[in-house]
Amino acid sequence: MGPQARERALARPGGSEQGELETAVRRVFGQVREDGDGALRALTRRFDGVELAQFAVDDYEFAHAEASLDPALRAAMVETIARLETWHRAGMGAGFEVDTAPGVACGRMLRPIARVGLYVPAGSAPLPSTALMLGVPAALAGCPQVVLCTPPRADGRADPAVLVAAKLCGIDQVFKLGGAQAIAAMSLGTDSVPRCDKLFGPGNRYVTAAKQHAAMMAGGPAIDMPAGPSEVLVIADAGAPPVHVAADLLSQAEHGPDSQVILATNSAALIDAVDHEVRSQLMALPRREIAGQALQHARLCLVANLDEAFALSNDYAPEHLILALREPRAWLDKVESAGSVFLGDYAPEGLGDYCSGTNHVLPTHGAARAWSGVSVASFQKAISYQEVSREGLAAIGPAAVTMARAEGLEAHAQSVLRRLEASA
């Protein structure tokens, strides 16, 4: 295929509906801006089928969640938190200070974002793991106020596992709100929900569109990244076990009908074997109907060689990239754009989703060309500073005057000159 034909073949699902999504999101934001909590109740009734007297999760509901949770699941969460902390601590940035000239000290200090809003999906399946993936780096960054929104169940309660995960991360401000209305609430603020400075978390196309809309508002919140429907690309050689590759493709397909899974291999025999395995394994999945819909967007790509496979992958910029290769680490330098990479036959994407230690909130829909997954730095601001002595001003001031006058900004030049004259 030529570049244009390949781009059409690998197009993400749902692109033609972007205009409708944006219109729907603007309508939701307008309603929440106009009527606050009243609009949130109406939208929750419409989209979730639940009438809520209050959105905030109270102490009783937190306690009920803790009591009802499977102890094995709670233990797995605690274990996962330890690994997440280990990985995130290793990657944390630090402030610094350096003399850029004699008498000129320049530095950078890190400060937590004051109010952050976390979105934890619970549409077709609740995702307590996302609460951990967002809650742990927020805690390590030291954010003073952390707000979490998650959709209510049919009984009007939040998913117990999501609540326990939130508590384990020190989050007690949880609101039963989902979809675009949750993003609007955290962006605009209402009587119940605090207005946030930055929003985090994955979601469906409406949630992603709502986050992007919020980031474009005048004075609106920042967002972590575009993180919408999930996707995986597997690069495999002839030695890859078809049963593993098929399982990896299905693990992402079951996320939702608009997920996309792709295999790129130089082995025609592997494509046939994987195709057979996917069809066979699909029938045993509880979510086979959802996965089956996602497989309509799946692609099994035969390439001439692995270099071509990596070129295809870097072009696509997948959220998850699995290297089902005999020597995967030897090919790692070929990866230029991906959210997270999984090396070899024993690193299924499911480990990254849950408990290996890396973060699963990753850029999707090609955003990995420029965006990175969530880290502690995502929850921090880097503030620069400079301290200049009399000697330092004398040393670098003339350069500033020259550059200011070259740009026609005489007041800038004078701010330096008046100090130079006074200290002469």
424, pLDDT greater than 80: no
Q: Given pLDDT bands bounded at 50, 70 and 90, which one contains residue 20?
A: confident
Chain center to CA of 249: 20
To the question of whether residue 119 is assigned a binding role by annotation, the answer is yes
Phi-psi region of 357 (alpha: psi -120 to 50; beta: other; left: phi over 0): left
Report the sign of the C-alpha dihedral through residues 49, 53, 55, 59, in that order.
Answer: negative
pLDDT at residue 156 tops 70: yes
Distance CA 180, CA 198 (A): 15
| DSSP-assigned letter for residue 12 | P
Is pLDDT above 90 for 7?
Answer: no
- Going along the chain from its start, the domains and CATH numbers come out as 17-224 (3.40.50.1980), 229-364 (3.40.50.1980), 389-423 (1.20.5.1300)
* Residue 320 designated active-site: yes
Helix ranges (DSSP H) in 110-222 = 128-141, 160-168, 179-188, 205-216
- Give the type of residue at 109: M
421 assigned binding-site residue: no
Among candidates 156, 145, 155, 179, which has minimal Cα distance to 39? 179
Closest CA to 165 of 178, 182, 140, 148: 148
pLDDT of the residue at 19: 83
- pLDDT given at position 374: 97
Supply the pLDDT for residue 423.
Answer: 79
Q: Largest Cα–Cα distance in the chain?
A: 84
Average pLDDT of the residues in 391-416 = 98
pLDDT, one tens digit per residue, over 279-319 is 999 999 999 999 999 999 999 999 999 999 999 999 999 99
Annotated active-site residue in 319, 349, 360, 365: 319
Q: pTM value?
A: 0.94
Confirm whether residue 181 is marked as ligand binding. Answer: yes
Label residue 16 by pLDDT band (50, 70, 90). low
User: Is residue 51 flagged as an active site residue?
Assistant: no
> What is the reported pLDDT for 126?
83
**More confident call, 245 vs 2:** 245
Residue 54, annotated as binding a ligand: no
Distances (CA, A) of 171 to 163, 168, 308: 9, 7, 46
How far is 100 from 201, CA to CA, in rounded Å?
A: 39
In this prediction, residue 2 carries a pLDDT of: 79
